[in-house]
Amino acid sequence: MKLRNKVAIITGSGRGIGKAIAIEFAREGCVVVVNYLHSEEEAMKTVEEIKQIGSDAFPIKADVSKINDVKMMIEKTLEKFGRVDILVNNAGVITRPGDYKNMSEEDFNKTIDVNLKGVYNCIKAVIPAMKKQGNGRIINIASVFGMLGAAPVAAYCAAKAGVINLTKSFAKELAPEILVNCVAPGTIDTEMTRAGGEELIKWISENTPLKRIGNPQEIGKAVLFLASDDSSFITGHTLVVDGGYSLK
């Protein structure tokens, strides 16, 4: 079991990609802190699924865009489990319509605050505990669109591009004790994606070499790799998991 006795905080893990990561970690013996903000019912279901697997899980409500919430989440984790071995920054939002003509300043700020500032907040807050332990893994969830851009969601793309750069910056600053890496998914079958409509999914599938969108479990396995000792000589890297979409 690759993560036996490890403790992981996974933000936004009540559903979607975050939940898939949590389940993959639990199967490898990891204790999981299931962070959520609005999806309490889903978070509790994730906790129960993890316990049925035979691992331990603990739900914590926290808004990653607010530093005091993040500090509370880290403190509660340390009080209960005594350490934080892995941080997965998965929480994110996408606003639709997201084009510049229709996006309000409030929606723009929320997109940056959750997707980019939230990652920064969580990394900053967890560093002291990981430094004290002498080790740690941080995996940030960005997006292939943070590398390619996409016309109707400029704020989202800008935030995810920032996440990729934060990964590189913190990888340099926190080495050699703490490894910091990033996963950049393509289009994945989640509620967020489905909200964009079937036509969008069809178009992306047709323009992807593997002729489909991904599933959350495929991202979970990629994150598991970066969280485990299998990736012990990798830091500052962005692992693209997009079915070849970015090759076009």
Torsion sign, CA atoms 79, 22, 162, 134 = positive
Q: Are 123 and 89 in contact (CB under 8 A)?
A: yes
3 state DSSP class of 141: strand
Residue 221: closest CA among 178, 188, 173? 188
Q: Which residues contact 32 (CB under 8 A, 6 or more apart)?
A: 8, 10, 13, 22, 25, 26, 50, 55, 56, 57, 58
What's the count of helices (H) and strands (E) in the chain, helices before strands?
10, 7
What's the rounded Cα separation, in Å, for the pair 152 and 137?
Answer: 33
Q: Any catalytic annotation for residue 156?
A: yes
Ramachandran angles phi, psi of 171, nearest 5°? -60, -40
Out of 36, 100, 120, 156, pick the active-site residue.
156
3 state DSSP class of 224: helix
Q: Are 72 and 82 in contact (CB under 8 A)?
A: no
Angular region, 66: left φ>0, alpha ψ -120 to 50, beta rest: beta
Q: Are 91 and 63 in contact (CB under 8 A)?
A: no
Mutual orientation of helices 154-174 and 118-133 as an angle, nearest 10°?
Answer: 20
- For residue 123, what are its two tokens? 């990394």
Residues labelled catalytic: 156
